[in-house]
Amino acid sequence: MIATWWQAQSARDQRILKIGAVVVVGVLLWAFAWHPLGVERDLRSERLDQARRELAFVRASAAEIARLRNAGTQTRADRQGKSLLALADASARSGGLDGVLKRIEPVGPRSVRAGFEFAAFDTIIDWIERLAREHGVQVSDFSADRIDSSGLVNARVTLEDVP
């Protein structure tokens, strides 16, 4: 049936139909193969660029973290021979927490726990930040119970000396 119809067409019509078929096949190949591959390539290129930017950010952040960690480590020598227990006690008392520091005890060879009652939350946070910045001490556990709406808390802080 198709062969009979094809034979019935003139040579000029057959040539036009062949050219049309080649064009249609080319357009279909472009639409269903080449174009989607190009779009996917562009998307993957954008993802790769984003991943490279993120990797550069992570590397820069890691360098900054190492620098800050080393800065804290270097200042540990400024303790003048004080243990973590003595350092925490002295710094809390000199940092405005003298009357609210109720207990301080060793928890392990490199950690101490401090308990505060009716302490200003902001003052405790400032004390913790100063210990971390100036002496490389980290908080491994922190809990606080609000006393009232004036910013006072009962808090327990566990500090660790980072090797």
Q: pLDDT by residue (tens digit) across 78-94?
A: 566 678 888 899 889 88
Tokens of 15: 């040539």
> Model pTM?
0.54
In three-state secondary structure terms, 95 is helix
- Do the Cβ atoms of 154 and 144 come closer than 8 Å? yes
**In this structure, is the dihedral angle defined by the CA atoms of residues 64, 68, 73 and 78, taken in order, positive or negative?**
positive
Residue 97 has pLDDT above 60, yes or no: yes
Tokens of 12: 């000029």
- Do the Cβ atoms of 117 and 154 come closer than 8 Å? yes
In three-state secondary structure terms, 77 is helix
**Confidence band (pLDDT; 50, 70, 90) for 25?**
very high
Residues in the chain: 163
In three-state secondary structure terms, 82 is coil
Residue 53 has pLDDT above 90, yes or no: yes
